[in-house]
Amino acid sequence: MAIVGGFDIHRRQVTFDYLDTVTGQVRRGRIEPACRAVLREWLEERLAGQGDVTLAVEGCTGWQFVVEELQRAGITAVLAEPADTASLRGSKSRAKTDKTDARHLRMLVAEGRVPASWIPPAQVLELRALLQLYRDLRAQMGLSAAGAQAVQVALLAGVRADHRVRPPPDRLQDPGRRAVQGRPAGVGDRVGVPG
């Protein structure tokens, strides 16, 4: 591997530590703020055209956009399982910091010992987002079970439409759909229920 490294992700910043195995040069620092646009620009400036690059990211809050940007830049992303990664660190003799976490991930990548987690494909991530939307809509709208079922049918019908599969005709007349149609104007429109 030409470059190996680790990212420690937090809400406000991403701490990095990477090693160029050809030159032996180690680079450390922070990427601030921790957002998609800044990370994309940083990756283009620092690692574009570097060849074989592998970076590890702990599977905690914020991992998804970081992994997506790494993959977009042609970098091999390894999603590290947090509990197993911590156990490989051993007992703490010093304070745990962002720098030491990033360095620990870099060393695990270099040694080929990262306890990897599964990175879901785009279709699974999209379905997760739809299910989260469903839960949020149900909570915001205070939907009954029938209304919630109608929202679910509408969301899944949209997924089927994207994949060119038509929903069975009997599902279009279910009680949940009728419950949404009987609600005040605009509710069905907000959740994408076809009229």
DSSP per-residue string spanning 38-72: HHHHHHHHHHTT-SSEEEEEESSTTHHHHHHHHHH
Q: 142 versus 76: which is more confidently predicted? A: 76
User: Does this model's pTM top 0.85?
Assistant: no
Confidence grade of residue 164 (pLDDT, cut at 50, 70, 90): very low
pLDDT, position 153:
75
Helices (H), the chain: 36-47, 63-72, 82-89, 98-111, 122-141, 145-162, 175-181, 187-191
pLDDT at residue 165 above 70? no
Q: What is the pLDDT of residues 71-128, one digit of tens each?
A: 999 999 999 998 888 888 877 666 678 888 999 999 999 999 999 888 888 888 888 8
Query: 154 or 34, which is more confident?
Result: 34
Question: In the structure encoding, which two tokens stand for residue 91, read together?
Answer: 């007992």
Question: Is the confidence at residue 163, as pLDDT, over 50?
Answer: no
What per-residue confidence (pLDDT) applies to 190? 42
Higher pLDDT, 156 or 193: 156
pLDDT at 159: 56
Across the chain, mean pLDDT equals 79
Of the two residues 80 and 173, the one the predictor is more confident about is 80
* pLDDT at residue 1 in the model: 58
Q: How far is CA 94 from CA 30, 67, 90, 101, 137, in A?
A: 21, 29, 11, 12, 45
State percent of the chain over pLDDT 70: 74
Domain ranges of the chain: 3-111, 122-191
> Residue 41 — pLDDT band, cuts 50, 70, 90?
very high
Query: Is CATH 2.120.10.70 the classification given to domain 3-111?
Result: no
